[in-house]
Amino acid sequence: MRRWLGFVCALCWLLPWGLQAQEAWTGWVNWVLDGDTVEVLREGRAETVKLRIDGIDAPESCQPGGQAARDALVVLALRKSVQVVEVGQDVYGRHIGRLTVDGVDLGAEMVRSGMAWAYRFRTGQGPYAGLQRQAQKQKIGLFGSRQRPMTPPVFRKFHGSCHGP
């Protein structure tokens, strides 16, 4: 009985990080905030949803590569119909989800083109780690310069947020 109770407690502790409920819906991207966050007007709703793309981390808008990452996501998503599989919310209240446009996974495309890192909160390595290794090997996007690009958490540590205190 004691072992069973320990298992149930462990499972309850892991639920928020791994086994989140997923909700699928469609919408229209009406704004791209940066290389990993968009505003989506959900079908049948009047207000937009701020949505962070699951599995990636793009440069901050004020750091090197930030504008290029935003521009890349604009080309992929702005004013397009998207399918969203929502997996939860982050600590800032943004919805987190996987986005596809005509069957194309936007997170995968951002990492494949070197415009974002494969990233998963709490574990570091996201579902697109192989695509990131390819982009690094091909030296494209963020990985094209001689200097190693600074990940957003490291950038914020040294320079603070682009959006003020």
Digit-coded pLDDT (tens) for 132-145: 999 999 999 999 97
CATH code: domain of residue 122: 2.40.50.90
User: Is residue 51 one of the residues assigned to a domain?
Assistant: yes
- pLDDT for the residue 81: 98
Task: For residues 81 and 41, give the distance between their C-alpha atoms in angstroms, rounded to a whole number.
Answer: 9
Region 10-23 average pLDDT = 50
Q: Model confidence over 58-100: pLDDT tens digits?
A: 999 999 999 999 999 999 999 999 999 999 998 888 899 999 9
Q: Is residue 126 part of a domain?
A: yes
Nearest to 97 by CA among 155, 28, 37: 37
Asked whether residue 115 is domain-assigned, the answer is yes
Number of folded domains that form the chain? 1
The gap from C-alpha 108 to its chain's centroid, in whole angstroms, comes to 10
For the question of residue 52 being annotated catalytic, the response is yes
In a domain? residue 44: yes
Told to judge if 60 belongs to the known catalytic residues of this protein, a careful annotator would answer: yes
Residue at 67 is within a domain = yes
Q: Give the active site residue among 2, 3, 52, 86.
A: 52
Place 122 in a pLDDT band, splitting at 50, 70 and 90.
Answer: low
Instruction: Domain of residue 60: give its range.
Output: 19-159
* Active site (annotated) includes residue 43: no
90 or 4: which leads in pLDDT:
90
Domain presence at residue 13: no
Instruction: Please identify which of the residues 60, 70, 86, 98 carries the catalytic annotation.
Output: 60
